[in-house]
Amino acid sequence: MRAVIQRVARASVSANGHTLATIGPGLVVLLGVWQMDTPEDATHLASKIAHLRIFDDAEGKLNRSLVDVRGDMLVVSQFTLYADCRKGRRPSFVEAARPELAKPLYEIFASEVRRIGVPVQTGEFQALMELELLNQGPVTLVLDTQQML
């Protein structure tokens, strides 16, 4: 799995002109699922992100996690994180998981974050969405379960 994580003051996601989800301070996670990912990858990544110390403490140091600050998480599926742009001008998405594998793993990821105690909102799987966010910091990280082994 590959995740782009952004610390935000607020964020929302819409589809077809309707707001699907809105969060206050917390994290936006753009989540891509690789064709070889497993449920264990989803639970491991969920825990890693929920406990990443990327929020300021009283001294302004990045020492607090999403769990610590009681922030929200907005998870949006994004298969384009597995785009291969090495050849030609049109990205290839052959490394991205097919929807029948990706959706359950996306749902496992969100469920695990909820189990940890973080309020989670999600986009709509396979929908054309509009994401609005106010990046805070800015703090943006990329995690990949294949690089975390």
Q: Is residue 87 part of a domain?
A: yes
Q: Is residue 62 part of a domain?
A: yes
Domain range for 25 is 2-144
Catalytic residue of the set 6, 43, 55, 79 = 79
CA angle 16, 108, 133 (to 5 degrees): 45
pTM of the model: 0.95
In tens, the pLDDT along 31-87 reads 999 999 999 999 999 999 999 999 999 999 999 999 999 999 999 999 999 999 999
Domain with 40 in it: what CATH number?
Answer: 3.50.80.10
- pLDDT above 80 for 149: no
Residue 69 token pair: 């600050």
Known active-site residue 80 = yes
Q: Is residue 149 part of a domain?
A: no
Catalytic residue of the set 78, 121, 122, 145 = 78
Give the Å distances, CA to CA, from 14 to 53, 75, 125: 29, 13, 12
Catalytic residue of the set 19, 80, 126, 146 = 80
CB 45 within 8 A of CB 26: no
